[in-house]
Structure 1
Amino acid sequence: MKPTGLPIADTKQTLRHAGRLAGQHKGQLITTIVLYTLASAAGLGAPWLLGVLIDRVTTGDGGAINAIAVAVAGFIVGHAVLSGLSHYVSSRFGETLMARLREEFVRRSLALPLATVERAGTGDLMTRSSRDVSQLGQVLRRAAPETFVCLVSLLLTLGALSLVSPLLALVALATTIPVLWGPTRWYLRRAREAYLAENATYSQISENLAATVEGARTIEALRLARQRMETGNGDIAASYKAERRTLFLRSILFPSLDFGVTFPVASVLLVGGLMYSADMATLGMVTAAVLYINQAGEPMFMLLALLDELQSGEASMGRLIGVGPVESTEKNRQDDRDRTGPAVDATGVHYAYSEGNDVLHDVHLTIPRGERLAIVGPSGAGKSTLGRLIAGIDSPRRGTINLNGQQAHSLSLDQLRDEVLLVTQEHHVFAGTVRDNLALADTSADDDRILAALAAVDAAEWVRALPDGLDTLVGSGERSVTPAQAQQIALARLVLADPDVLVLDEATSLLDPRAARDLERHLAAVLSGRTVIAIAHRLHTAHDADRIAVVQDGRIAELGSHDELVAAGGHYAGLWRSWNS
């Protein structure tokens, strides 16, 4: 199934979120605004004083030349100091916002249902967490404060020009707005869509690259290297085309900006010269006006040029905050909830990975609290799919699944994980200590509880034998653990998590049969009183269960104890005979 991509926030949502985020740091925001305003105001003093100086010299009044020169130097120094301080404060402000956005993005990503990530593809999430975060960081550190500086400088400069000569200020506006309005509007109507498309191509590159790396051995065995290279080349070609699109937009915008900032200077100089000839303005006024409009040209050009970075940053921010709503951290487990119903109650469940192709058909299954149920059946029958639905990874297309009396889809993610956990044969050991890896399940667990959980899965002995015991660093770049040891760490996590309902999907498949059987017996003792649903191919797991559900072609074909199903002589009896032959 082709990844569909994660949601993207629209412009209104992005701007509203940015405003709310900035409002949470009003002190830094106000300080930044005040300093930039003062810096911009200090930069206006020198052109005005130079105009006064020229008028004094032309009229023969040179008495105040030294004082004016000192004042000009003072304004220049003040502007430099305030600008430096402004950049420092705004950089700190930008880093603060960036840190908050990163934290929010991590919370949003962890709150995503696994099914959503699988449908979208991990490449999209990888690109958002790397390239989009990097682009947004550049905007918050540089483009956003620079845009504010340019805007304030432009407004103050035009105000100062109006004070010097309202007529010349009108000339400047009349020769600027018509020239820049058309190209800027044309650019803004196309830029966001173009940058979103560009970022989407990077997501596709990451998705296919990750799939190629993960399946490297299979690709080599089946000689699919050329096919994967062609796929990669196609992704790069699509990215090249998307970047050509954004480059085309910039190639239209920037030349227009160059003309838009030079034409007003020439116009003001021409009209100013005519006014001076007609004794309508002094030479100092014309000089100050030309200096002001020339000074306004730089922030005007920068302001419009920064639109490119702002559009890219806005697209990246939309991709980051569009990942999903942040789950409330205040939704805790409700241990006092009425638990009079069964642990799991599936009624009329249908499910399809693709529309029109159901893999589960009208499944009805009630599991009392504390029961150990084994789900068996041939490969592709729908066993793992049923386990995913019970664990809340996916939702039924039709029908309902209740956990302890509440519909699974109505529970928050935190509540759902308190109720049920799914453990599969795919396990991940995070970079860190053994203790860190286990404490993920319960941050309040002390060493005694951690060691007890390890003992429950027959892992305490080899963990104690590590060079630093629980403090031994494992994971990427550190001490490696075997697949079987990684599986034991994952199972020890679930002992610490202590859920009400536990779904084991071939959770002991990486252990040899004898070790797996011993481990399952240990787990059965530790998880006594918990509801355990074991999806298994090894029938000794089913033999030890209270009841067995046989899944055949997406339906519950048989349901009963081991002895009952063997005596019935149906599907399970045939599987049991094959297993023991």
Structure 2
Amino acid sequence: MTATAPAPLPVATARQTRARLREALHGRRAALVTALAALVLDSVLTLAPPSAIGRITQAVADHRGPGALTGPVLFLTAAALAAALTGWAATLLLARVVLAVTGRLREDAVAAALKLPADVVEAAGTGDLVSRVSGDVDRVTDAASGALGDFAAAALAIVSALAGLAVLDWRFAVAGLLALPLQAHTLRWYLRTSRPLYAAGRAADGRRAAALLGAFTGLPTLRALRLGAGRETRVAAASTEATAYEFAATRAATRFYGRLNVAEFTGLTAILVVAYVLVRTGRADIGAATTAALFFVGLFDPVNTLLGTFDGVQQAAAGLARIAGVGLAAGPAPAPATRTPAPGPRTGLAVRGVRHRYHDGPEVLHGITLDLAPGDRLAVVGTTGSGKSTLAGLIAGTRAPYAGDVTLDGVPTAGLARPTLDGRRRIALVPQEHHLFAGTVADNLRLARATASDDDLEAALTTVGAAGWTAALPEGVDTAVGLGGIRLSAHQIQQLALARVLLLDPEVVVLDEATAEAGSDAAQTLDRAAQAVTEGRTAVVVAHRLSQAEGCDTVLVMEDGRAAEHGSPGELRSRDGVYARLWASWAKGRG
């Protein structure tokens, strides 16, 4: 099979990204408007200190007595207290909105990632997906927590200051606006420069994450084959590429702020010249000139904050587009499940002319056709690489066939991922690789059904033969296992995986060598557990041991992605075919 380049997950367009953001803000717009109203009041109060200082300056210039300072000082004190109150309220209200929205974005990103077909994740690379639901979500969260409030506050402060300049004298406002063309040109240049930098930088970060994950997950193989140096070179190259984009973005930001300083110098110079002329001609007093100069100086921080937040906004926008892209790859949400059964009789599981290939590689399944009536049990046997696991994934709906279709009662199995309204799954896959989640035994089981009672857990554990050893744990099913807890053996983890299936209570169970890792002492226990799990259900069992096939109604023998034989175990043993030879070899090995 020829290697193919990773196919990254899609990136949402600007329109799709805005639509996703509007969805996240649904139901929270009233709170956002209230927060912005508090920011408006807070920005108006920022005009109080320059106004008070201007009045004090004029009083000193007029040689008034100390009593003339009482009013401005009291005004300044009251404005400071009011500004502290409105600033606190605005911060609190914005935090409630921002944290809720970013929390929803994170949850939706993880939910969309869990719905992605296995083929899509494999084609994109795990690193791309991980960087989106972790790094990109963190980038959006950080920007929303800081940039949103800063941006709104700065914009309102600028509007208030310009309005204050106009109230003093329209010529002060015109002088202050001389900086605007330089600032606008600087911002336009920066947006054109930084937007592609940040988008490419986030993509490079995904490639770096993919390289690191590949190195860590394949560490034993790399050590065994002494391939560490080559993998290290790939990781270093990916890191260098990501770092280069970060340096380029930093250089662009440095030039951006340098040009803003030039605009500030230009505007302040114009304000001082106008103030000099107006005072000399008697059209303005010293207090007004001082206030105008302080108004403009007070614009430095808001303007820099406003334009500077575009840096964070650009990064957040690139991250948000990648997060929304996960949802695009996952596709539209399926229609809600209902309790009403589909009209007509149940037709069972049907596999029609299924073909499959991985990415752009050669076909690995060639026209498989099967029919399983409700309650039938099918064993799939064959040598390694014959296509057993691929067929199991297609039947379970975790992969989409390249050609043909797989249906359960006429519904494609790929659309049966959502549970029904009563919490049941119509189809469940138990793979060979089982994961033990950090937490208690009960936590691991309730992943399948959160509402399961203690009696439900005990019944499931008893059925799979795990009630004895779980009861012997220090705290029973409430004992912490996995990372930070008690370490379980491979066959114990497999028993928990089978117990989860009982709690899911699916109509169809697909066991992909689900008991293959057990040693000989535990093999019979697990085989009995698998038999109990499939009892009364339609079952597809990818058999690791032929003893499992003998307990099924029919057997499918796979060879090079094709159906070599299909029939009952007894019928296939009587033939001089592939299954008969496998059976003879297996029976001889058992003595």
1-side partners of 2:282 and 2:461: how far apart? 94
Residue 548, structure 1, aligned to residue 516, structure 2: no
- Give the drift of 1:491: 0.9
Rounded to whole Å, the distance in 1 between the matches of 2:301 and 2:82 is: 20
**Partner of residue 180, structure 2:** 177
Deviations 1:510-555 (A, max 9, x none): 1124532343234324532211111123222222221111112222
Equivalent of 1:492 in 499, 502, 520: 499
1:136 to 136, 140, 144: 140
Q: Kindly provide the CA deviation profile for residues 161-213 of structure 1, in whole angstroms up to 9, marking residues without a partner as x.
A: 1111112211221x222212222112212323322222222222222222322
Distance 2:82 2:453 in 1: 58
1:401–1:190 CA distance, 2 compared to 1 (3 A): farther
Asked whether the 8 Å contact 2:381–2:557 carries over to 1, the reply is yes
Deviation at 1:399? Answer: 1.2
Query: Contact 1:9 / 1:318 at 8 angstroms: preserved in 2?
Result: yes
Contact 1:161 1:168 in 2 (8 A): yes
1:246-303 CA deviation, whole Å, 9 max, x = no partner? 1232122111122222320111111221232233333222222111111112101111
**Which residue of the partner structure matches residue 160 of structure 2?**
156
1:495 touches 1:527 (CA, 8 Å); kept in 2?
A: no
Judge conservation of contact 1:340–1:405 (CA < 8 Å) in 2.
Answer: no
CA distance in 1, matches of 2:171, 2:26: 40
State how many pairs are aligned: 580
1:529 maps to 2:532? no
1:416-495 correspondence runs (5 A): 418-495=425-502
Q: How far has the Cα of 1:309 moved from its partner?
A: 1.0
Paired position in structure 2 for 1:213: 216
1:492-525 CA deviation, whole Å, 9 max, x = no partner? 1112112111111110011124532343234324
- Distance across 1 between alignment mates of 2:471 and 2:397: 35
Aligned match of 1:365: 370
**Counterpart-to-counterpart distance in 1, 2:181 and 2:251:** 22
Alpha carbons 2:398, 2:414 under 8 Å: kept: no
**Alpha-carbon RMSD:** 2.3
Aligned-partner Cα distance in 2 for 1:515–1:537: 14
Secondary structure at 2:299's aligned position in 1?
helix
Partner of 2:31: 28
> Given that residues 261 and 300 in structure 1 are in contact (C-alpha distance below 8 angstroms), is that contact kept between their aligned partners in structure 2?
no
Partner of 2:375, secondary structure, is coil
1:139-170 deviation per Cα after TM superposition (whole angstroms, max 9, x unaligned): 12211101110001011111111111112211
1:392-442 Cα deviation digits (max 9, x unpaired): 111111111111221224445436982211111100111111111111112
**Structure 2 residue aligned with 1:8, among 8, 11, 14?**
11
1:336 and 2:347 aligned: no
Q: Is the 8 Å Cα contact of residues 333 and 414 (structure 1) preserved in structure 2?
A: no
**Aligned-partner Cα distance in 1 for 2:355–2:192:** 44
Alpha-carbon offset, residue 306 of structure 1: 1.2
Question: Offset of 1:482 from its aligned partner?
Answer: 1.0
The residue number in structure 1 matching 2:172 is 168
Which one-letter code corresponds to 2:337 in the other structure? N
Task: Decide which of 390, 393, 401 is 1:396's aligned counterpart.
Answer: 401
Counting only pairs closer than 5 Å after superposition, residues 175-574 of structure 1 correspond to structure 2 as 175-324=178-327, 331-332=336-337, 334=339, 336-338=341-343, 340-355=345-360, 357-411=362-416, 413-414=418-419, 418-513=425-520, 515-574=522-581
1:98-137, aligned counterparts within 5 Å? 98-137=102-141
Partner SS for 1:477:
coil
CA contact (8 A) 1:6 1:120 kept: yes
Structure 2 distance, partners of 1:528, 1:20, is 44
Which amino acid in 2 is paired with 1:492?
A: A
Instruction: After superposing the two structures, state which structure 1 stretch, 197-206 or 514-523, moved more.
Output: 514-523
Tell me how far apart the structure 2 counterparts of residues 19 and 527 of structure 1 sit (CA, whole Å): 45
Cα separation, 1, equivalents of 2:562 and 2:54? 90
Q: Is the 8 A contact 2:222 2:228 kept in 1?
A: yes
Percent pairwise identity: 34
Does the Cα contact within 8 Å between 2:136 and 2:323 map onto a contact in 1?
yes
With over 3 angstroms needed to count, the CA separation of the structure-2 counterparts of 1:407 and 1:417, relative to structure 1, is: farther
Range with greater deviation from structure 2 (515-524 or 488-497): 515-524
3-state DSSP of counterpart to 2:406? strand
Structure 1 CA distance, aligned partners of 2:5 and 2:256?
36
1:7 and 1:324 in contact (8 A); partners too? no
CA contact 1:91–1:142 (8 Å) conserved in 2? no
Query: Does the 8 Å contact 1:331/1:412 carry over to 2?
Result: no
Q: Distance in 2 between matches of 1:404 and 1:514?
A: 39
SS of residue matched to 2:352: strand
- The 1-side partners of 2:175 and 2:107 are apart by 49
Indicate the larger mover: 303-312 or 28-37.
28-37
| DSSP 3-state at the match of 1:5 | coil
Following superposition, the deviation at residue 473 of structure 1 comes to 0.7
Given the alignment, which residue of 19, 24, 49 partners 2:22? 19
Shift of residue 19 of structure 1? Answer: 3.5
What is the deviation of 1:374? 0.8
- After the TM superposition, which of the residue ranges 35-44 and 275-284 deviates more from structure 2? 275-284
| Partner SS for 1:349 | strand
TM-score of the superposition, structure 2-length normalised? 0.92
Distance across 2 between alignment mates of 1:23 and 1:559: 55
**Greater mean alpha carbon deviation, residues 190-199 or residues 405-414:** 405-414
TM-score under structure 1 length normalisation: 0.94
Paired residue secondary structure (2:360): coil
Q: Which residues in structure 2 correspond to 1:77-88 (within 5 Å)? A: 77-88=81-92
State which drifts further: 197-206 or 424-433.
197-206
Offset from partner CA, 1:72-110 (integer Å, 9 cap, x none): 333234323432443333334332333232332332233
Partner in structure 1 of residue 587 of structure 2: 580
Partner amino acid for 1:152?
A: L
**More displaced 10-residue stretch of structure 1: 41-50 or 297-306:** 41-50
> Retained in 2: the 8 A contact 1:463–1:469?
yes
